[in-house]
């Protein structure tokens, strides 16, 4: 079995470990680290996708770690999002470093806050249990690494979570993995494993919660369109395959696993596209759910100036909750003393020894041929010309006296 096939099967198998482990679950919950599931940037959200596609910025550090190898720039990105009428706020920043010809590093930080949340006393009727308002906040720091082997990419992310619930706080950990294969530089398919190291969090009260691994698969393509002066990219992405619970905004799929219900799998899958013009403008659209009755659509646009600085915007609708707006900025340094564009090191080709020896042998001969005329010119200047008349000898006065005597 080849190394690439073994890695791919390992990632798939890790996700399915959750099936036998569910009988051991003591404090198993869903959504332990929702901050990482929000996604970075506004480009992917404008397409209604998160993992699928060919990446072009630092947002890939969290969204698609294996796709960081698509980015050749030393680049930064930052995002702000208002959710549910301003009740929830999401802010993040990411940095991507293409340090090796076939390797990429990434760092990210994010915060997710919810304010003005109604506090209810447990085990009491809701109308009589309201005790006030409170807020919660998540802080996350993450590091990612990606490696390319020919057409095969692998990547992973480690997230450290700090959660403040108002009356107590907790720490959490999670690790994700991703593998993908690109055909002819144009088509791509892969798998994203959420929680290859299960997402967990422990609080001051002693309560510990965790979430079992899960996986989603995706496919995408990229087509050049010279008649429209740009390129088209489209992608398809499934929801997580093993998790029980609602994956739909309509809340009609409670208790069903996508892998055991192909109809619900198709209904809750995502589909999106982006058209990128050669002069920097991008337009995007997508469906967060293929079910038309869900009404979960995404729209977006962006513009990049000379691949140095750019802005992206995404709009997402919801059938019941308020609309979501997301704004993102990205920047690639480009100065006279430092160029961040195409920062990735290229392979160094060593010249054959034969050519180097020939150049060394030819160079002295050229110098000699150039020096010979100079020496001859100097000798010619010192030697008098034979054609010029020689001056007559001058007799001294003593000789003249002796001749007269």
Q: Which domain holds residue 362?
A: 353-404
Tens of pLDDT along 171-219?
999 999 999 999 999 999 999 999 999 888 988 888 888 888 999 999 9
pLDDT tens-place string over residues 121-180: 555 555 555 556 667 899 999 999 999 999 999 999 999 999 998 778 999 999 999 999
Residue 201 burial by Cβ neighbours in a 10 Å radius (0-12, 13-18, 19+)? buried
Shared domain for 242 and 382, answered yes or no, is no
257 lies in some domain: yes
Is 94 found in the same domain as 28? yes
Classify the phi-psi angles of 280: left when phi > 0, otherwise alpha if psi is within -120 to 50, otherwise beta: left
Q: Are residues 311 and 364 in the same domain?
A: no
My answer on whether 374 and 311 are in the same domain is: no
CA 143 to each of CA 108, 156, 160: distance values in angstroms, whole numbers, following the listed order: 6, 8, 9
Does the residue 161 lie in any domain?
Answer: yes
Examine residue 24 and state whether it is found in any structural domain, yes or no: yes
Q: What's the whole-number mean pLDDT along residues 89-97? A: 96
Close Cβ partners of 353 (under 8 Å, ≥ 6 residues apart): none
**Count of C-beta atoms within a 10 Å radius of residue 181:** 16
Q: State which of 268, 301, 331 marks the end of a domain.
A: 331
Domain presence at residue 341: no
Burial of 161 (0-12, 13-18, 19+ CB in 10 A): buried
> Burial, 405: exposed, middle or buried (Cβ in 10 Å; 0-12, 13-18, 19+)?
exposed
Q: What's the predicted TM-score (pTM) here?
A: 0.76
Any domain includes 8: yes
Please tell me whether residues 373 and 318 are part of one structural domain: no
Specify the pLDDT at position 365: 47
Q: Span 64-89, mean pLDDT?
A: 91
Residue 348 lies in a domain: no
Helix (H, G, I), strand (E, B) or coil at 62: helix
Percent of the chain with pLDDT over 90: 50
- Residue 272: count of CB within 10 angstroms of its CB: 27
Q: Are residues 258 and 304 in the same domain?
A: yes
For residues 122 and 199, membership in a common domain is answered with yes
Inter-CA distances, 125 with 118, 133, 240, Å: 14, 17, 34
154 sits in the region (left: phi over 0; alpha: psi -120 to 50; else beta) called: beta
CB atoms within 10 A of CB 30: 15
What phi and psi, each to the nearest 5 degrees, are found at residue 239?
A: -75, 180
Give percent helix, percent strand, percent coil of the chain, each to the nearest 5: 25, 40, 35
In angstroms, the CA 269 to CA 255 distance is: 17
- Whether 237 and 123 share a structural domain: yes
Rounded (5°) CA angle 265-282-73: 95
Same domain, 287 and 375: no
- Does 345 map to a domain? no
E strands present in 306-359: 309-316, 324-331
Answer yes or no: do 325 and 187 share one domain. Answer: yes
Distance CA 62, CA 54 (A): 14
CATH of the domain at 269: 2.40.160.40
The Cα–Cα gap between 96 and 75 comes to: 6
198 domain residue, yes or no:
yes
Number of domains the chain contains: 2
Q: Is the pLDDT of residue 404 over 60?
A: no
Question: What are 19-66's pLDDT values in tens digits?
Answer: 444 433 347 777 788 888 889 999 999 999 999 999 999 999 999 999
Residue-wise pLDDT for 247-269, tens only, equals 666 655 555 677 888 888 888 89
Same domain, 96 and 189: yes
Kindly report, residue by residue over 100-119, the tens digit of the pLDDT.
999 999 999 999 998 766 66
Tokens representing residue 35 in the block: 């901050």
The torsion angles phi and psi of 34, rounded to 5 degrees, stand at -70, -20
360 and 241, same domain (yes or no): no
């Amino acid at each position: 079995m080849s190394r690439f096939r073994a890695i791919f099967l390992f990632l798939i198998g890790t996700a399915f470990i959750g099936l036998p482990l569910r009988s051991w679950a003591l404090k198993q919950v869903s959504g332990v680290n929702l901050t990482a599931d929000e996604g970075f940037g506004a480009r992917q959200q404008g397409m209604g996708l998160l993992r699928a596609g060919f990446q072009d910025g630092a947002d890939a550090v969290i969204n698609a770690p294996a796709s960081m190898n698509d980015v050749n720039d030393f680049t930064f990105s930052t995002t702000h999002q208002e959710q549910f009428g301003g009740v929830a706020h999401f802010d993040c920043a990411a940095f991507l470093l293409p340090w090796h010809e076939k390797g990429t590093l990434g760092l990210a930080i994010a915060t997710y806050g919810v304010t003005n949340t109604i506090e209810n006393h447990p085990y009491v009727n809701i109308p009589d249990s309201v005790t006030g308002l409170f807020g919660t906040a998540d802080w996350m720091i993450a590091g990612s690494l990606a490696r390319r082997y020919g057409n095969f990419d692998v990547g992973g992310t480690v997230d450290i979570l700090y959660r403040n619930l108002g009356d107590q706080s907790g720490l959490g950990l999670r690790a994700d993995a991703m593998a993908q294969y690109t055909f002819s530089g144009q088509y791509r398919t892969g798998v994203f494993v959420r929680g290859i190291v299960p997402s967990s969090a422990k609080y001051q009260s002693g309560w510990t919660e965790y979430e079992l691994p899960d996986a989603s698969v995706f496919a995408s393509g990229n087509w050049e369109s010279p008649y429209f002066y740009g390129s088209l990219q489209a992608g398809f992405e499934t929801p997580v395959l093993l998790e029980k619970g609602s994956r739909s905004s309509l809340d009609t799929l409670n208790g069903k696993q996508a892998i055991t219900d192909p109809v619900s799998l198709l209904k809750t899958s995502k589909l999106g596209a982006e058209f990128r013009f050669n002069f920097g403008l991008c337009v995007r659209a997508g469906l967060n759910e293929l079910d038309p009755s869900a009404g979960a659509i995404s729209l977006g646009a962006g513009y990049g100036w000379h691949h140095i600085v750019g802005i992206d915007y995404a709009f997402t609708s919801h059938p019941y909750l308020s609309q979501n707006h997301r704004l993102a900025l990205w920047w690639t340094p480009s100065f006279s003393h430092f160029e961040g564009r195409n920062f990735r090191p290229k392979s160094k080709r060593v010249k054959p020894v034969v050519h180097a020896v020939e150049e060394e042998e030819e160079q002295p001969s050229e110098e000699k041929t150039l020096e010979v005329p100079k020496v001859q010119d100097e000798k010619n200047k010192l030697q008098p010309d034979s054609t010029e008349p020689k001056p007559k000898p001058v007799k001294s006065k003593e000789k003249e006296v002796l001749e007269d005597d």
